[in-house]
Amino acid sequence: MMNDDDEDEERSALGRAVDTVLIPVHVAISKPAQKAYLGTFLFATTSLILLCFSTLAYVLFYYNYVPQIGIERTIHLQFGNGHPYGSSYLSSALTSLQPYDVTLFIHLPRSPVNFKAGNFMIDLSLLSPTVPTSSPADLVPPSLSSINTSTSVLVRSRRPAILTYASPLIDTASTLSGLPWYILGWKRESEILEVSMLEGVEFARGWRNIPDMVKVVVEADVNMQFYGIGVKIVARFRGLRYMLYNHRIFSYIFFTTSFYFVSIASTFLAYLIFTYYLSPQTPKPMKTESQDNVKHEHTDSDSDIVDPFSASGLSDTSRNFPTLGRQMPLHFSSRNEAIKREGEGMARVKEEEIVRTTGIQPLVAEADDEEDDEDRDLLSWRDSGIGTSLEEGDGRRVQKRRPLVGGKK
């Protein structure tokens, strides 16, 4: 059987193993880890939102800066009043300062009448928004020479066109070879002429300089036959528009990343401004009269503190200091005593001069030093007492009377 010590050791070992295994769990659920998770979640959410805004900003920038690459309009010709004519609205698809190529597509049957017409002229005009469009007859001139050339016509171009020639033999062989397709209706005896009317035309700034209508007039000596006419306007991109249109993936990555970092910087700056103006500011404590009084009291009490190393408050009393052995004791002479000795010396010199000159011995009175003794008693509390004794203290107060003239005391 296992004793209690072995069981405790097993339990402690098992507890240590469990604690070792749970260390990552404790670290993962600790408060710093929770704060890190929350910060990461907020950063990821904010980054995702800003990425969506950056993508939206790029899409709006692309569709506002890059114009429509091509515009196609069908022109319905009108007959019975001079040359065939037609017009169509362009809406607001064109942009200023952008080169455009204008091409006209004419669908003609290969009929003897059209072959007989030979060369014919096509007149194309781009009209400004100021042109009145109340009725189609207003757009049609009575003759080609009287076409409106006022400022309402922004661009005008006249180009020739003709059906492709084919010899009778080639024409017959082509028809026989394509006879099954002609029978099934998959092919027709017709031709589509592609006539380039304008190349690289640009429009000045301003809505009045951007055309919103195209007009086509077909001039021929005979009444020609038409299946239909269409106009196609293609933008010729260059510079930044060329890069945005022809390299769309690279442009998306570059500009979206740029918008994203700008959004991050703007968000961080807005956060700093928001926290600066809305953070609680601690008010400055108001000084009360009681605090002022306490401050003055502290100042007064500090002024009363005596510096222990200052020599201003030391006693100026003469004293003797004991020494070792048989050496003479050290004597400290006060300033007053030094002055007094100097005065006594001067007095002795004067007495000797008087005695030499007159031969009369001067009378010496008892020196009364009561005022000096009182001053010494007041300052005696500051003395350390080293080397002082009762004899030394009494010696300061007992004065011997000097002998008088004639040997009397």
State residue 235's pLDDT score.
92
% of the chain at pLDDT higher than 70: 63
Of 163, 79, 175, which is closest to residue 114 (Cα–Cα)?
163
Return d(Cα 341, Cα 336) in angstroms, integer. Answer: 9
Whether the pLDDT of residue 321 is over 80: the answer is no
State residue 296's pLDDT score.
53
State pLDDT tens for residues 145-194. Answer: 334 444 488 999 999 999 988 888 888 888 888 888 888 888 888 899 99
Whether the pLDDT of residue 75 is over 80: the answer is yes
Per-residue pLDDT, averaged over 353-357, amounts to: 71
Q: 21-25, 95-99, 242-246, 294-298: which range is least confident on average?
A: 294-298
Per-residue pLDDT, averaged over 239-261, amounts to: 91
Greater pLDDT, 223 or 285: 223
Q: Are 104 and 195 in contact (CB under 8 A)?
A: yes
Per-residue pLDDT, averaged over 88-109, amounts to: 89
State pLDDT tens for residues 32-74. Answer: 888 888 888 888 898 899 899 999 999 999 988 998 888 999 9
Of 328, 316, 329, which is closest to residue 389 (Cα–Cα)?
329
State pLDDT tens for residues 15-43. Answer: 777 777 777 777 778 888 888 888 888 88
- Which residues, other chains included, contact 360 with Cβ-Cβ below 8 Å and sequence gap of 6+? 354, 405
Whole-prediction pTM value? 0.54
State residue 346's pLDDT score.
75
State residue 338's pLDDT score.
64
Greater pLDDT, 64 or 353: 64
Using alpha carbons only, give the angle 247, 248, 252 rounded to the nearest 5 degrees: 125
Q: What is the mean pLDDT of the chain?
A: 75
What tokens appear for 176 in the block? 């026989």
Whether the pLDDT of residue 133 is over 70: the answer is no
Work out the pLDDT band at 108, boundaries 50, 70, 90. very high
| Length of the chain as a residue count | 409
State residue 212's pLDDT score.
87
State residue 292's pLDDT score.
54
Q: Which of 260-274, 313-327, 361-375 has the highest mean pLDDT?
A: 260-274
259 sits in which H/E element: helix 248-278
Whether the pLDDT of residue 201 is over 50: the answer is yes
% of the chain at pLDDT higher than 90: 23
DSSP 41-82: HHHHHHHHHHHHHHHHHHHHHHHHHS--SEEEEEE--B-SSS
Per-residue pLDDT, averaged over 346-361, amounts to: 70
Whether the pLDDT of residue 312 is over 80: the answer is no
